[in-house]
Chain A
Amino acid sequence: MENCDIVIIGAGPAGLAAAGEAVRRGAKSVLLLERNPEAGGILNQCIHDGFGVERFKRALTGPEYVERFLPVLDEPNVTLKTSAMALKLGPDRTVQYADRSGLHTVRASAVVLATGCRERTRGAIGVAGTRPAGIYTAGVVQRLVNVENVMVGKRAVILGSGDIGLIMARRLTLEGMEIACVLEKLPYCSGLARNVRQCLIDYGIPLHLSTTVTDILGDDHLEAVVASEVDERGVPKPETQRTIPCDTLILSVGLIPENELARACGIAMDPVTGGALVDGRLMTNAPGVFSCGNGLHVHDIVDMVSEEAENAARNAVAFAEGGASRAEQIPVAFENAVRYALPRSVPAQTPLTLSLRVRSPGRMQTVLVRRGEAVIAQKSLRRLSPAEMIRIPLPPLPEGAENLTVSLRQDEPEAKAAESELVCTVCPNGCALLPVRNADGTLEIRGALCKRGVAFGTSELTDPRRTLTTTVRVRGGVKKLAAVRSAEPVRKADLKRLVRGLRPVTADAPVHCGDAIAFDEARIVASGRVPRA
């Protein structure tokens, strides 16, 4: 049996970041197991931009974000096995995997689970009706359209306002499909405000809250869905039923951490997150097995996945070296308004960032982390949403008997948000902007907490621009399509025309990230790589 210092299962954004950190921390050998033919995970199909704003201060596309982490694969002590599926994880840190060269087992000093997540399906949410062709989860459509070069239909209804669904609403619109509407069973949107603006409002796609699909019609192919409004308890109101003709239903109803390996290994799971229960080192109850990224809990921003994976890798290397911290673990509890806080315990004497999600949307609240009576960390937020993970840095804590508790405090009587068509999407504050036309004809933006908000509002109202992201066909490559983007933002009104114009364009493999694509109407560059076949 082969031995390896650190085995990382999954070479998506979590696995790649973990590998980088493991190398920096002196791991002697790192093995990355990836079931796809290339590293990058789900980001390879996320050709839209918006990744890396926190980490790289730039809105990168998914493949571009991956590109920044690929140099680790050139390190002499890092091995990437692609098209390799991990089949078994043993409590003794043995990992069995299969690839075209055989069935292999490797023994690791520490294992990092970076297995990502899968989508919740129609089956899991129990939508009644027939089972015709034309029903997909959003991520499947994303892969079909952006990777497999396959178009799914002409008119879609999207159920669920998760980010992937919103992203696909825009993507499919740009490729000529009609999106009838997005339905969300909850009374609030599950996706990021930025995506509501850039994917729905930009294209006039209606979002119906407190509405769900209650029946599916069509024997061979989907013909229509029946939509119903729901009451406060989520029960459909039959009198509100209406039939929406469509040939495609796209589900964006949540993500589930993928933990089949961990479960089969007997690792204890958290029923709230669907991920493993981990301590402050992100270590599971199997010694030396760490978990991070969307396999641990679903994140909304990949930058945080990378950061969490680096933490896991740091601790994994320390464990592998036998110098693992034996620091006392201080348990973390949370009150009911907090859906979960992670990790569930933090080591004494070590600074750490706590991740948490709230149960329902709110305004003007403060997250308090107490130890006993004393508040040790807090964060005041103008806007809170279950869709947005909150992160609070904790100071190093002395050892002691008292646990941490996380709670929410309402700071002011909850005021109704100012009615505004224009919500700033520069940062999670989501300021409601109020444009005012002054007597002298100049435009004033009120309601923004910062200058960036004013700039955002002004540009949105005078010359709205967007980064164009789409694909072009590739000749002679290992992939059918290459992800491309506009080198700089283009006029919003030009997006559809440019995507149409790019349709006949074919690039020749190899394509490198940043390569110029021959196109007259705008400066287009490749945003992902396609090696020669």
Chain B
Amino acid sequence: MKYDIVIIGGGAVGSAAAYLMSRYDWSVAVLEKELDVAMGTTGRNSAVVHAGFNNRPGSLMAKLCVAGNRGFEAAAKALDVPYRKTGKLIVGFTDDDRAILEDLIAAGERNGCEGLRLIGADEIASMEPNVPARWAMLSPNTAIINPFLYNIHLAEAAAQNGVTYLLGREVTAIEQTGGSFRLTAGGETIECGLLVNAAGLFADKIGAMAGDGRYTIYPCRGEYYLLDKIPGDLLRRPVYPVPRPGVGGLGVHLTPTIDGNLLIGPSAEYVEKREALATTADMLGRLAAEARELLPALDMRLVIGAYAGVRAKLVPKGAANYGDFVIEESPAVPNLIQLVGIESPGLTASLPIARMVEEMAVRRLRPSAKPDWKAEYRGIERFCDLPDEEKAKRIARNPEYGDIVCRCETVTKAEVRQAYENPLGAHGIVSIKNRVRATMGRCNGGYCFTRIVDMLCSEYGLPPEDITLKHRDDHPFTGAVK
């Protein structure tokens, strides 16, 4: 197989690049080692569209985060991604904290963030009555999104415009000959003229495989608790503590999700393994304690899950230097575009990063724009969000809308079917979950998991032993009982 451009990595950044490049008449393929997109760091974070005040003035992170924030609402609309501009509070408890907040506002303004201001206890109490802080910086432009659907819709929109997604193709070798590349991935050979390295946690390894071994990724794990839907008046917007120097993250914070759940986290801990996705008892205990400082009324009985994500940092533990995004045409290898060290705010910045990639590629290959490119994408319509009369119409049109498969999240069989028959051909149960939320709720799939299994076996003819959750070899079942 031969493509003009191959993107390695189908996460938010790789898929944003695929989406933007799908408007031209060249051939583009995305190689993803997992069996679906949004399986890595993209789906394992706080799901926040950052405003950009946290990043060092003058850095690419600052510039692209601010740009990403400005464009996100329109992109979310075009791509049918749940998005809500909630604003966010960074809260402080001491006079020292107030000074840090003032510095943060100054840095944010240098970065081009708008509307940042310091507020006092009274205003905090009116906005977040359950947060006992003395000072806070209000960032009005911070937003929350569904990161799975953002990534999935970018990818499905790209696919709709002709990009080939090759899932389950882990790149194991890259041969570079005369300015073009021959890749070995999942036992196949794929050739391309331009290679985009968007491999996230593995971007250093992929770079080295292609001949540019100048970078090292230092994985830094963040653990989270996921809580059930919280009463709307408990917490309305993300609340973060003032950043503490020397901590490799933004501090344990509380983030309402776009679906009404609450996240606590993340921790920040350098780890050996890049996919160290285990949670630890120690860290989860600390999360609970720190969360209660921000929100004493928090009832930890609402916890319904825990997960971890890993940041792809370019600086090791304790390093004094600032790890910025690397977005460049490799000086070492011709026709290799390197995207390395894309950690937070990578989700926010993904489209501006992709735009830089697009410009580099266009400059080199001079493609023509396709006349029929579709910027818009519509995902699976969510039954539970519809008004009653629309719900009734959906059921009248398709009785499977009246068949509620997932009770916690009110997901219908019609939606599960659309999710299973997704345009990327991703068939694990987690691919259904990430698209329509079935199994994501408080019962952890206790109700819908067996019903989805039945549907896959009875209606799609899958033998039980062939069912997978998220990985090729993670078969949950050994076969039939009898």
Contacts and interface: CB of A to CB of B under 8 A. Distances in A.
B59 interface: no
Contact of B480 (A133, A151, A154, A220): A151
Given A83-B403, A100-B403, A128 B284 contact: yes
B453 A144 contact: yes
A486 to B, nearest CB: 17
Interface string B152-177: 00000000000000000000000000
A150 B402 contact: no
Interface in A502-526: 503-504
A148 B444 contact: no
A154 B478 contact: yes
B1 interface: no
B469 A145 contact: no
A100 B479 contact: no
A98 B402 contact: yes
B279 A129 contact: yes
Contacts of A83: 403
A134 interface: yes
Interface string A459-490: 00000000000011100000001000000000
A35 B407 contact: yes
Given A103-B391, A118-B447, A221 B475 contact: yes
A102 B481 contact: no
B481 A471 contact: yes
A236 B474 CA distance: 29
B201 to A, nearest CB: 14
A121 B481 contact: no
B226 interface: yes
Contacts of B408: 260
B305 to A, nearest CB: 3
Interface string A29-45: 00000010000000000
A371 interface: no
Nearest to A100: B399
A175 B391 CA distance: 43
Contact of B278 (A130, A154, A471): A130
Interface string A90-130: 00000010111111000000000000001101111010111
A221 B458 CA distance: 24
- Most chain A CB neighbours (cut-off 10 Å) among B400, B444, B447: B444
Given A85-B404, A103-B395, A133-B469, A147 B280 contact: no
A505 B244 CA distance: 67
A481 B481 CA distance: 10
Contacts of A481: 481-482
A119 B443 contact: yes
Contacts of A98: 391, 395, 401-402, 404
A140 interface: yes
A137 B468 CA distance: 18
Contacts of A126: 225, 281, 284, 303, 306
- Most chain B CB neighbours (cut-off 10 Å) among A145, A152, A503: A152
Contact of A133 (B307, B401, B474, B481): B474
- Most chain B CB neighbours (cut-off 10 Å) among A118, A132, A133: A133
Interface in A269-324: none
Interface string A242-281: 0000000000000000001000000000000000000000
B402 A99 contact: yes
A151 B477 contact: yes
B466 to A, nearest CB: 12
B230 to A, nearest CB: 12
Contacts of B225: 126
A274 to B, nearest CB: 9
Contacts of A236: 281
B316 to A, nearest CB: 24
> Number of contact residues on B: which range applies?
35 or more
A214 interface: yes
Contacts of A35: 404, 407
B450 interface: yes
A139 interface: yes
Contacts of A216: 278
A39 B277 CA distance: 41
A144 B404 CA distance: 19
B278 A121 contact: no
Contacts of A220: 471-474
Contacts of B444: 121-124, 137
Interface string A206-222: 00000000111001110
B99 interface: no
Contacts of A149: 464, 480-482
Interface in B425-479: 442-447, 449-450, 453-454, 457, 464, 468-469, 471-479
A58 interface: no
- Most chain A CB neighbours (cut-off 10 Å) among B391, B392, B474, B479: B474
Contacts of B469: 133
B404 A472 contact: no
Contacts of B478: 151-154
A55 interface: no
A103 B304 contact: no
B169 to A, nearest CB: 17
B301 to A, nearest CB: 8
Interface string A161-199: 000000000000001000000000000000000000000
B410 interface: yes
Contacts of B278: 128-130, 215-216
A119 to B, nearest CB: 5
- Most chain A CB neighbours (cut-off 10 Å) among B395, B472, B480, B482: B482
Interface in B357-400: 388, 391-392, 395-396, 399-400
Contacts of B482: 149, 471-473, 481, 503-504
- Most chain B CB neighbours (cut-off 10 Å) among A119, A131, A143, A152: A131
Contacts of A219: 275, 277, 471
Contacts of A121: 304-305, 442-444, 446
Given A85-B404, A150-B477, A123 B303 contact: yes
A221 B473 contact: yes
A201 interface: no
B450 A133 contact: no
B404 A140 contact: no
B392 A102 contact: yes
Contacts of A122: 305, 444
A31 to B, nearest CB: 17
A123 B304 contact: yes
A102 B404 CA distance: 12
B395 A100 contact: yes
B461 to A, nearest CB: 14
Interface of A: 35, 83, 85, 87, 96, 98-103, 118-119, 121-124, 126, 128-134, 137, 139-140, 143-145, 147-154, 175, 214-216, 219-221, 236, 260, 471-473, 481, 503-504
Interface of B: 225-226, 275, 277-281, 283-284, 301, 303-307, 388, 391-392, 395-396, 399-404, 407-408, 410, 442-447, 449-450, 453-454, 457, 464, 468-469, 471-482
Given A102-B395, A133-B476, 4 more contacts: A85-B407, A100-B399, A121-B304, A148-B453
30 contacts: A35-B404, A87-B404, A96-B388, A98-B402, A98-B404, A102-B392, A102-B395, A103-B391, A103-B395, A121-B443, A121-B444, A122-B305, A124-B304, A124-B444, A126-B225, A126-B284, A130-B278, A143-B450, A148-B450, A148-B454, A148-B457, A150-B477, A150-B481, A151-B464, A215-B278, A220-B472, A221-B475, A221-B476, A260-B407, A471-B481
